[in-house]
Amino acid sequence: MSALYISMNKEYLLEIIKNKVSEKIRKFENLIAETRESNNDTKSSMGDKYETGREMLQQEINNLQRQLNEALNQQNALQKITAEPLSKVQNGALVKTDKGLFYISASVGEIIVDNRKIMTVSAESPLVKAMNGLVKKQTFFINNVTQVIEEIW
């Protein structure tokens, strides 16, 4: 594959990931709003007798808020990533090993582009920590498996 093709592919990958994270943010914002509405309905119609139920709803709101904050942090981190070609493993690198293709950005699962499976991983993941800073043809070891870096874009 040519460097230009991969560079364009990285732009496309980055857009897919940004869209997935934006969708996740919208989902959490909607869930929080719906849960708050339920909490308000509970307050007005049930009185103090159902304090435990309201507390459970508040805990759910707090949990959703935490997940929303994580998604917002992912979105902020994505703003710093460019599609520029890279020569070492770092945030924004598309890395091909003998075991798979990994895009270091935000972890949104597997993406299929041009019939290729690309696993999106965050820079904080154990996999990335194991190969961070390495260059083409270097090896690393994770989960009792040795992997060879075949290409970096």
pLDDT in tens, 91-149: 999 999 999 999 999 999 999 888 889 999 999 999 999 999 999 999 999 999 999 99
Beta-bridge mates of residue 92: none
Q: Where are the domains of the chain?
A: 3-79, 94-152
* Nearest-angstrom CA–CA distance, 150 and 45: 63
Question: For residue 128, what are the contacts with CB-CB under 8 A and spacing of at least 6?
Answer: 89, 102, 104, 121, 122
Look up the pTM and report it: 0.83
